[in-house]
Amino acid sequence: MAGITLAQAEARLQNYLDAEEKVLLGQAYEIAGRRMTRANLQEIREGIKLWDEKVKALSAFASGTPRTRTICPGW
């Protein structure tokens, strides 16, 4: 099975950004006496960070930008 594509990572990042916006607009609401609470904002922000990093890494790979590496002699 192939890895995650840049398009998939971008779509997932957008989903998390949309979720964050919905939470920020109204974390909790009530309908017909039932109280509903949206997802945990901290978890959404962790997802945004994760998918943002994946998008950046996949974009760099697609553009041919090499990753930097640290080499420690004597290890």
Every domain of the chain and the residues it spans = 6-63
Residue 50 — pLDDT band, cuts 50, 70, 90? Answer: very high
73, with CB counted inside 10 A (0-12, 13-18, 19+), is exposed
Give how far the C-alpha of residue 8 lies from the chain's centroid of Cα atoms, to the nearest Å: 11
Q: Does 30 score more than 90 pLDDT?
A: no
The C-alpha atoms of residue 35 and residue 10 are separated, in whole angstroms, by 32
Model pTM score: 0.69
pLDDT, tens digit, 9 for 90 and up, residues 59-72: 988 887 666 666 77
3-class SS at 14? helix
Are the CB atoms for 51 and 12 separated by under 8 Å? yes
Element (H, E) at 9: helix 6-25
pLDDT for residue 68: 64
